[in-house]
Amino acid sequence: MANVVKMRDITFDKSLFDNYLTRTPLDRLICSYNGLPKGVNYMVIGDPGSGKTTIALDVLANITRHYPSARILFVSAEMNHIDLAACVQRYPKFKDIDILFIESDFCGTESTHNLAAIESTLDYGWDSRHRLVPRAARHRPRGRKHPHERRRESAAGYD
């Protein structure tokens, strides 16, 4: 029972529970307590041309502009360098976002991911990662309870 502790005996840095504000209506849409929580992965799924990339990059550009020290990563498995260059031409504020391009044959029998390169990039410790998945690659996302609910903060004594 050495690993059993009471939550009241555990302390956390209060900034762990701060959210990134995108200063868009998405702050209230995505999360009931405003903003995007730190350290959470988001997967945007939709049909080609539905605006997944534009919305995700807009959110990331806003976060990057308002939180310059934030480590934000956009993972693109669907668009290549040329596709995203055209997007940056239309929206210059996207030019400072860190992007990891991965190539994959989602519909084939063998993945062409370079797993070592992806893992080493992700080991850097990003505050937020966003990934777009083509419709053909959809799978049921794992459910995860959100650690940033206000009542949990209150219960843990963060008020």
Cα angle 123-64-23, degrees, rounded to a multiple of 5? 130
Per-residue model confidence (pLDDT) at position 93: 92
Give CA separation, 79 vs 47, 90, 107, in Å. 13, 15, 16
- Report the domain count for the chain: 1
Distance CA 128, CA 19 (A): 11
Closest by CA to 130, choosing from 91, 77, 92, is 77
Q: What is the CATH number of the domain that holds 121?
A: 3.40.50.300
Percent of the chain with pLDDT over 70: 65
Residue with tokens 């799924």: 45
Split at pLDDT 50, 70, 90, the class of 75 is confident
**pLDDT, tens only, 120-133:** 776 766 665 555 55
Domain presence at residue 54: yes
Per-residue model confidence (pLDDT) at position 126: 65
Range of the domain at 76: 19-142
Mean pLDDT of 74-96: 86
DSSP E strands, the chain: 19-20, 36-37, 40-45, 72-76, 98-101, 128-133
Domain presence at residue 10: no
Pairing mode, strands 36-37 and 19-20: antiparallel
